[in-house]
Amino acid sequence: MKKILTIIGARPQFIKASVVSKAILETEGLSEVLVHTGQHFDTNMSDIFFEQLNIPRPHYQLDINGGSHGEMTGRMLVEIEKALLKEKPDCVMVYGDTNSTLAGALAAAKLHIPVAHVEAGLRSFNMQMPEEVNRILTDRVSNTLFCPTQAAVANLEKEGYPFVMANGQKQRIEKVGDVMQDSAELFATRAVAPKDFNLQDGFVLTTIHRAENTDQSERLQNILEALHEIAAHTPVVLPIHPRTRNRIAQLKLNTERLTLIDPVGYLEMLWLLTHCGLVVTDSGGVQKEAFFFGKACVTMRDQTEWVELIEAGANELVGAQKDTIIDAIKRNLGREVKDTEKLYGGGTAAKRVAELLKTIP
């Protein structure tokens, strides 16, 4: 029986774990220990996902949140190492690009425990983003690289992967598809409207949380002014991240036309994606979720990891210029997109990951 110790800590990782943990449970020869770092810790950002998605309750709840990137990552390293020494897993699995991801990968690598990275090979090519630093370093110390797309595989190959690891074996690069699509398909039929939500279909669904936007006052002001202008004729719904809410209050920015709602659970988010007319976001995961539900997306960033969505015409990258955002929203509102080429594997990624975990030396 191979023991997999999985590190999660943030909303996108809960969603991914919902299907991969299920696949592990259904795969003979595998068991899982779940460690929740606590990076997302309040009810709407954490607890609700475990309840809605039937994720097993974590064996370890580290409650590490707040502080600088370095402080948070360092505290996680200390506590994750303790769990690894106690559990002695055959493999540590990490997801995505958060501080939890990097801390889990480093703790395992220093103890010579094989690391499997789900969503390996993604690149924004912007080293100002903490997520880019996290994903690059995690890939380098991972033994198994689970890539969601061919573009991710190509990124690794351009960087010289696979490398020879400390055990003398080369890294494995496996294109498995995107487990986010598995989740979207599994839970779409259970989607529910947010409490007291009464807008008609066709609204603009917006998320804003990236540090590159929230920490730069000019960018955040431009984004909100653009959304405010759109909201004069089309409702703009913004499930508001706590950090974004605080920054808006600090800068005294105008949101009176926007429909601000508390962070929502995954099932509510799926409902919003189903009923909106357009997605406007700076999130990585939400770009894909829009695609899974056939909605066009406008991404308020200067780069994106999901280049295949740009190439397919499903997503438009607009940065944070007010007029550019407004023009893109008007051009894309109500436009449907189709997944004709199964860009993300068609909903079989989690089973593929579980089967490959069985073969880890």
Q: Which residues carry out catalysis?
A: 209
Neighbours of 52 (CB within 10 A): 19
Specify whether the CB–CB gap between 235 and 199 falls below 8 A. Answer: yes
Q: Would you say the C-alpha torsion 127, 215, 48, 188 has a positive or negative sign? A: negative
Three-state DSSP class for residue 333: coil
Apex 291 CA angle, 285 and 293, nearest 5: 105
For 79-93, the DSSP string reads HHHHHHHHH--SEEE
- Give 66's DSSP letter: -
Between CA 116 and CA 184 the distance in angstroms is 23
Specify whether the CB–CB gap between 239 and 264 falls below 8 A. Answer: yes
User: Closest by alpha carbon to 115, among 148, 133, 137, 131?
Assistant: 137
CA-only gyration radius of the chain, Å: 20
For 84-137, the DSSP string reads HHHH--SEEEEETTSHHHHHHHHHHHHTT--EEEETTT---S-TTSHHHHHHHH
Three-state DSSP class for residue 189: helix
- The alpha-helical segments, DSSP class H, found in the chain are 11-25, 48-53, 69-87, 99-110, 130-141, 150-158, 179-187, 211-214, 217-230, 242-251, 266-275, 284-292, 307-311, 322-332, 349-357
